[in-house]
A and B are shown apart, each in its own frame.
Chain A
């Protein structure tokens, strides 16, 4: 059946996982077979990359008696790719001023936008720029991501974390798109980093600690190609020793850099020899200098001219050959099938999805998702209830406070009213007294007038005296 093939294909699993996967395969296939009313006799087996399957009885090799015409299949594939366009993303990691932008310019033979960077950034930032390049009928969407401020800080502990985060963010974006229900993968602009050019400064001694740490944290996420920048600062003899030292350091620290693939006969030889030249010592320059009777890209020094494309002077041509002409497609494939799958697996496992359930029964993503969804729904309900309760509580409290305030106001009002009432009564009292006094006075006035109309003389002085007396009483 297909189990053997499956086991062969998933060579990367440990033994404990194999049984589960085997079981799962069997169960899955049985699932389909028993449920369908029709029996598909002769299931087509799975093909693997090597030709072992052809020896199985299910698939027979057939010879044709004439020309059918499907040798145009690769051309059809290529035409479709041309229509869709290609996408390539390069990440350049290196200290400020080490020559990253210049090298990219030289690699792609264009003057991309370039601002010299300052050395005074407080954090490492990544800047991405996308360009469209055309060559004959190939459209390439090239994205260059530069690290700005790498290695400039006094404390470099946080230097490589932004890079790792950026790479993860691109994987995450792709994963999100892939998990969507309605997705548009064929139109998706793939921003995952396909290759990381790590620039090593030409000290001639060994790797810096920062370099080692950065490469170690990146090697499982991206294809790393280390290059020795500004290689015209090292002499040939030193260069050889430097390269050997670098490679041995990388190997002894377990850093997995990208190995050019050697499984295809057409490019195996050249790739294998290039693997021996890693890391490439490169020089970048867009300035042209006249050498002999040609203008070549070179750097001019008082003691000579370093030609960029001269293989004796530096490895630039090798880098371009390997990066663009021979292995671009392989880099993209590795990113998709190895690094992205690893990220996806880790991410999904982190979220709690597994392929095998607790009793070794096959568990599909859907079931787990449903279960989680159920869980989340319950959680959400609970939270809603909680919030409702809290809301009601708050409303009650507020109401109580308001009522309290109302009561206070009412009391104050009452109090004021009473005070007002008392005042009023007092005033009434005073008024009454005043009125009585006025009456008394008017009475007295009346009586004094009567006295005035009586005999004048005799009582004149008396009257006068009395008058005065009365007047003085009233004063």
Chain B
């Protein structure tokens, strides 16, 4: 082996990680090398792994984006949950005063913040859905939400098919949708089932049991099992989807998560003193519910899933699967072809019409053009 003359940070090791006697390459889980690409033994340290650092530097310079949507009826603690997740006041907890009338239609509200931690900048967009499921007749209350999601895909698609594209297309697509299930303790309600069926086909959905402090541990377990059973019966695939597990490690990790979905969470943004420590929690007459204590609620699991371990995966699946599905559908529409082989089927639809994205003016015009004097 040889030593490089002192050049910089990492080249001081004389013996590289690849010594010439090793015959077999390091095990890599994904695609095997095709016979056309012979694996080559390198006789010493070259410095290829420096590309990882380069990647990191570039990523940190550009910053990250994450878009999350919270869906649920009012009073389930959505805003508080978001505040707890990101430990800051995204918006004030909405309290419907007596004077304000209940909104007649569902109005989505988005708010964007840039948060930074240890040099990593994250541009976070949270979309709230006040008024979901609050009316007496909740028929088609999912349409505005699906429309919003499709609108983001459409926006990205339009940017992508421009002739002169931007260097970095701004990503406003919803990466993750947290669905709040009210803690009835029984099973999923028809509204939940209808909504989840539609939503799971277009976006990653993570259902949670909201306000779980009203259920005991055993009640939570029963409720969870019932919900899982309901999801299976109606073929609703929530995140992490089984069909996207790439290899055995993923599958093991994800099945552990799948076992605990939906998480029973409690949100709190006030701090209290417990045993001398300052913790986030809810104070009641019978005790303080610590949000970050795994024995009390499963909020840490949700936070870890969303932020610490699967954030990139959420974005990848949104980009590679949901967005591509939308794109195939959209491009096929103009050809008046049936849904082709490009459609990745996330879940079979036993019943219910598919919510079509609102046709934009451009698309409508194209359809008119093609219908005039078409010969096919």
Contact = CB atoms under 8 A, between A and B. Distances in A.
B123 A59 contact: yes
A158 interface: no
Interface in B293-348: 303-304, 307-313, 316, 320, 324, 327-328, 331-332, 334, 340-342
B328 A71 contact: no
Given A32-B151, A38-B148, A69-B304, A46 B316 contact: no
Interface stretch (A364-372, A444-452, A455-463): A364-372
A309 B2 contact: yes
B91 to A, nearest CB: 10
Contacts of A264: 57-58, 61
Interface residues of B, number: 123
Interface string A364-390: 111101110110011001000000000
A239 interface: no
Contact of A381 (B56, B85, B375): B375
Nearest to B129: A38
A182 B312 CA distance: 23
A264 B57 CA distance: 8
Interface string B57-89: 111111111010000000000000000011111
Interface string B262-295: 0000000000000000001000000000000000
B166 A10 contact: yes
A60 B37 contact: no
A78 B316 CA distance: 13
A26 interface: no
B349 interface: no
Residue in A58, A84, A135, A317 whose Cβ sees the most chain B Cβ within 10 Å: A135
From B119, B122, B164, name the one whose CB has the most chain A CB atoms within 10 angstroms.
B164
Contact of B362 (A135, A364, A374): A364
A10 B31 contact: no
A71 B313 CA distance: 15
Interface in B152-210: 154-155, 158, 161-168, 170, 172
A70 B167 contact: no
A154 interface: no
Interface in A101-145: 107-110, 112, 130-141
A74 B120 contact: yes
A345 B161 CA distance: 11
Given A77-B312, A84-B30, A294-B2, A135 B88 contact: no
A349 B162 CA distance: 11
A325 interface: yes
Contacts of B363: 366
Most buried by B among A9, A71, A321: A71
User: Interface size for chain A: under 10, 10 to 19, 20 to 34, or 35 or more residues?
Assistant: 35 or more
A329 interface: yes
Interface stretch (B108-116, B216-224, B235-243): B108-116
Nearest to A76: B312
A37 B166 CA distance: 29
Contacts of B42: 108-110, 133-135
Contacts of A109: 42-46
Interface string A157-183: 000000000000000000000000111
A73 B49 contact: no
B306 to A, nearest CB: 9
B50 interface: yes
B170 A46 contact: yes
A41 B288 CA distance: 37
Contacts of B105: 37-38
A41 B111 CA distance: 8
Nearest to B359: A35
Contact of B58 (A36, A183, A333): A333
A112 B40 contact: yes
Nearest to B127: A40
A44 B110 contact: yes
A76 B86 contact: no
Contact of A366 (B46, B111, B366, B373): B366
A41 B109 contact: yes
Given A74-B120, A181-B331, A36 B147 contact: yes
B139 interface: no
Interface in A308-362: 309-311, 317, 320-321, 324-330, 333, 337, 341, 344-345, 348-349, 353-355
Contacts of A182: 324, 328, 340-342
A31 B105 CA distance: 21
A44 to B, nearest CB: 4
A65 interface: yes
Interface string B358-371: 10111101100110
Nearest to A6: B166
A197 interface: no
Contact of A370 (B25, B122, B246, B366): B366
Nearest to B32: A132
B5 interface: yes
Given A28-B158, A62-B114, A328 B144 contact: no
A71 B370 contact: no
A47 B313 contact: no
Nearest to B292: A66
Interface in A31-61: 31-32, 35-49, 54, 58-61
B325 to A, nearest CB: 10
Contacts of A454: none
Contact of B164 (A61, A86, A327, A355): A355
A83 interface: yes
Contacts of A364: 158, 161, 362, 366
B107 interface: yes
A317 B55 contact: no
Contact of A38 (B61, B108, B165): B108
A237 interface: no
Given A61-B113, A76-B313, A324-B50, 20 more contacts: A41-B110, A46-B166, A59-B113, A69-B308, A70-B122, A72-B308, A76-B312, A108-B40, A110-B40, A132-B33, A132-B38, A134-B18, A134-B26, A135-B48, A267-B57, A309-B4, A317-B7, A321-B47, A365-B161, A374-B370
Interface of A: 9-10, 13, 21, 28, 31-32, 35-49, 54, 58-74, 76-86, 107-110, 112, 130-141, 181-183, 185-187, 264, 266-267, 270, 294-297, 309-311, 317, 320-321, 324-330, 333, 337, 341, 344-345, 348-349, 353-355, 364-367, 369-371, 373-374, 377-378, 381
21 contacts: A40-B109, A42-B111, A44-B123, A61-B113, A62-B115, A78-B56, A80-B313, A109-B46, A135-B16, A135-B17, A135-B48, A182-B341, A185-B320, A296-B2, A328-B50, A330-B58, A354-B163, A364-B362, A365-B163, A367-B362, A374-B374
10 closest pairs, A vs B, by CB? Answer: A182-B342, A76-B312, A329-B54, A46-B170, A325-B47, A325-B50, A71-B118, A44-B112, A365-B161, A64-B87
